[in-house]
Amino acid sequence: MEFAKLEKFIFEKVGQTRLPGVSAAILQGKDVSWSKGFGYRDLARGLPATPQTIYSIASVTKSFTCMAIMQLAEAGKLKVDDPVNQHLPEFNITPSGETVRIWHLMSHSSGIPALAYAECMIDGVTGAGENWLPIATYSDMLTFLSGAQDWTLTRPGERWFYLNEGYVLLSAIIEKCSGEAYKTYITNHILKPLGMNRTVFEKEQVENDPDAAIPYLTAQEGERKPSTYPYGLSGDGGIISNAMDLSRVINAYLHGGEQEGIRVLSPESIQEMESPRVVTPNQGSGFGVYSYGYGLGMYDNFFGHKLVGHSGSVGVATSYIGFIPDKEIGIAVLANGSGYSPSAMGMYGLALLLGEDPEKMPFVQRDRSLSELEGVYETYQGTLKFHIRKMGEYLNLEMHHKYGTQSVPIFPETFEGGTLNFYSVANGYRMPVEFRKEKGEMSLIYERYYARKTGKLV
């Protein structure tokens, strides 16, 4: 594989989205074949990111939590089909009158929609929000959930609702069944056996590490503000790790639960984790059906292969691990901020490893097209100006004048040939918006206007 193409792509996206730093590593077979840091782990001190830099891995933690549950199942201390209240009697939520079982929490299919505890807590801790939830213990979580019966929507096992709260409960079950604190159990039974020696949970451990990333919040104007990791998280997002350590757990997934001769889980349990349990609503990626297993998601047709992985975000840090079992390849990507998605960087790298052209992936083509459309468009003789601005997955059309700005979001619909079709909504009507590329020039048809691109945004 030509790693230079991946390096160029990551470098470009780090710059475009103002990410402070990114670290990544690729696993082929049982060996790390490439690793690299981009940008800064510490802006104030000018310290570069390295492949060993530690970051919050956010929701990638969930795969470790499910690995622990499967270990306890192998030890006969629980069954994934056990009712949750068999281990946590205080849990009394019964969606549609039915029992929530451990595997429902593992697969986010309990019937309880996201109650946004983690989002509220993360925003409160990092200073990004004003609300505050005092959830410091499992008892606090059970108190928080005590009134949630009326918020349930579907039968358990029926629909995917990403539920961080469920993974806090799984952490409590791990403690009840193992007799060890969650963090102690994960460290002793997964991290140490896998040789993940710089994967930690505690603030003191991070502060004493010589290669730790500073977490950053990015303000609307692009300013990056030093912040903190939300250390109060547990099995839903509490692990701090690095790309090199994560390559070791990827290796275990790729080789039936074994890393360098040490087995942490049986091949059968690994297969259970990577088996689809519920189809998610997040479809249309171009990679087939996206389903969720136990702490891992999976596409069934990533260039003809099954792609297993998980992403994560705590606002001040984002993450991704992804691997293709039948090719024994995987990638880990970590960042100390929110910007271009690490999962997109990871899939770009995996496509290259498969010998495919990642520029043909739908999300890459869409992103390139949206970026190309940005600029200033003018009608005949400059009578009117439209400013087209990329806003993540859509565009914003702006018309500026002395007394304010009119802003209209426009959403992509089809990308075919030289015509790019979008739509907006005005006065209850769905209005087509069309971009044309002819002879190297870009033009816009919006409402009754025809405009040509005349310059870049300032």
From 360, 377, 396, give the residue that closes a domain.
360
User: Which two three-digit tokens encode residue 291?
Assistant: 């389903």
pTM of the complete model: 0.92
Taking the C-alpha atoms of residue 140 and residue 46, their distance in angstroms, rounded to an integer, is 40
In CATH, what number is assigned to the domain containing residue 188?
3.40.710.10
> What is the rounded CA–CA span in Å between residue 115 and residue 62?
17
For residues 356 and 374, state if they share a domain.
no
89: CB partners within 8 A, 6+ apart: none
**Which amino acid, one-letter code, is at 171?**
S
Instruction: Identify whether the C-beta of residue 439 lies closer than 8 Å to the C-beta of residue 452.
Output: no
Q: Say whether both 331 and 183 belong to one domain.
A: yes
Note whether 388 and 347 are same-domain residues.
Answer: no
Consecutive H or E run containing 186: helix 182-186
Q: Are residues 250 and 372 in the same domain?
A: no
Q: Is 28 helix (H, G, I), strand (E, B) or coil?
A: strand
Q: Could you tell me if 401 and 316 lie in one domain? A: no
CATH number for the domain harbouring residue 423: 2.40.128.210
Contact 243, 32 (CB under 8 A): no
Q: What is the pLDDT of residue 416?
A: 65
Same-domain pairing of 356 and 390: no
Q: List the structure tokens of 144.
A: 């928080």
Closest CA to 311 of 230, 246, 222: 246
Name the residue among 236, 310, 268 with its Cα closest to residue 80. 268
For residue 237, the model assigns a pLDDT of: 96
Which of 306, 339, 360 marks a domain boundary? 360
Instruction: Report how far apart, in Å, the C-alpha atoms of 363 and of each of 315, 360, 415 are.
Output: 22, 8, 12
Scanning the structure block, which residue is given the tokens 């590490």? 209
Residue-wise DSSP of 227-281: ----TT--TTT--EEEHHHHHHHHHHHHTTTEETTEESS-HHHHHHHTS--EE-S
One domain, residues 318 and 439: no
The answer to whether the CB of 185 falls within 8 A of the CB of 59 is no
Closest residue by Cα to residue 67 from 221, 155, 199, 156: 199
Give the closest residue to 239 by CA, choosing from 63, 445, 413, 374.
Answer: 63
Residue 437: predicted pLDDT: 87
Q: Sign of the C-alpha dihedral, residues 39, 45, 50, 53?
A: negative
Q: How far is CA 228 from CA 214, 254, 375, in A?
A: 8, 33, 36
Mark whether 307 and 374 lie in a shared domain: no
pLDDT given for residue 128 in this prediction: 78
Domain end: 344, 360, 376, which one? 360
pLDDT for position 440? 82
Output the six-digit token pair for 216.
């950053």
CB distance 446 to 386 below 8 Å: yes
Residues 124 and 36 in one domain: yes
Per-residue pLDDT of the chain (458 residues; tens, 9 = 90+): 579 999 999 999 999 899 999 999 999 999 999 999 999 999 999 999 999 999 999 999 999 999 999 999 999 999 999 999 999 999 999 999 999 999 999 999 999 999 999 989 888 888 777 778 888 899 999 999 999 999 999 999 999 999 999 999 999 999 999 999 999 999 999 999 999 999 999 999 999 999 999 999 987 667 889 999 999 899 999 999 999 999 999 999 999 999 999 999 999 999 999 999 999 998 888 899 999 999 999 999 999 999 999 999 999 999 999 999 999 999 999 999 999 999 999 999 999 999 999 999 989 988 888 999 999 999 999 999 999 999 888 999 999 887 888 899 999 987 765 678 999 988 888 999 999 988 889 999 999 999 999 999 87
Q: Which residue has 């019937």 as its token pair?
A: 111
Of 256, 264, 281, whose CA–CA distance to 186 is shortest? 264
Q: Clarify whether residues 325 and 427 are in a common domain.
A: no
Query: Among all chains, which residue has been given the structure tokens 């043909």?
Result: 360
What is the tally of structural domains in the chain?
A: 2
Q: Residue 246: what residue type?
A: L
Extract the tokens encoding 329.
């390849």
H helices of 55-181, in order, are 61-74, 84-87, 102-106, 117-126, 138-145, 164-178
The strand pairing partners of 299, in sequence order, are 290, 307
CA distances for 140 relative to 73, 85, 98, 143, angstroms? 26, 16, 24, 5
What is the C-alpha separation between 257 and 67, in angstroms, rounded?
Answer: 9
Do residues 177 and 200 share a domain? Answer: yes
Looking at residue 413, the DSSP 8-state letter turns out to be: E
Extract the tokens encoding 285.
């990626």
Q: What is the pLDDT of residue 442?
A: 93
Domain with 450, as residue range(s), is 367-455
236: left (phi over 0), alpha (psi -120 to 50) or beta: alpha
Q: Do 103 and 153 fall into the same domain?
A: yes
Which amino acid, residue 400?
H
